[in-house]
Copies of this chain bind each other. A is one copy, B any other.
Amino acid sequence: MKNFNKVSVTGTERVELHDKLNLTGAEISVNVLPAGAGVPFIHTHKQNEEIYIVLEGKGYMTLDDEKIEITANDYIRVSPATKRQISASYDTAIKYLCIQVKENSLENYTATDGVVLE
């Protein structure tokens, strides 16, 4: 496999990056919901932790029995079994990333996984 891949993602269509980038440790999707719209179902995961990153706009997430407001620059970890649903605000679109990773899969990171060369 190539040592790296790069793609540019613009526009408002949902884009899934797993295959485009040859990802092996995550799936990342780029999502836009127009004002007043929401994902039309509640879901959970079997294995995967999700991290939602709000890039632009604002909206709401329902997480089990809580409904929270979310806005640009918010980062939200959601455990696999949590029932989740995300919506844009009534008057503002939301652009967000959704990252799926296998829960408890990270063994080392930064100082214990990185090797500084010079």
Query: Which residues on A are within 8 Å of B, measured CB to CB?
Result: 1-10, 16-18, 21-30, 41-49, 51, 53, 55, 63-64, 68, 70-71, 73-79, 81-83, 97, 99-110, 113-118
Name A21's closest neighbour in chain B (CB-CB): B77
Copy count, this protein chain: 2
- Which chain B residues border A5 with CB–CB below 8 Å? 76-77
- Taking a contact as CB atoms under 8 Å apart, the answer to whether B110 and A24 are in contact is no
**Which residue among A21, A48, A101, A104 has the maximum number of chain B CB atoms within 10 Å of its CB?**
A101
- Which chain B residues border A22 with CB–CB below 8 Å? 77
- Taking a contact as CB atoms under 8 Å apart, the answer to whether B108 and A64 are in contact is no
- Taking a contact as CB atoms under 8 Å apart, the answer to whether B78 and A49 are in contact is no
- Taking a contact as CB atoms under 8 Å apart, the answer to whether B81 and A3 are in contact is yes
In the assembly, what is the distance between CA of A38 and CA of B63, in Å? 39
- Which chain B residues border A47 with CB–CB below 8 Å? 107-108, 113
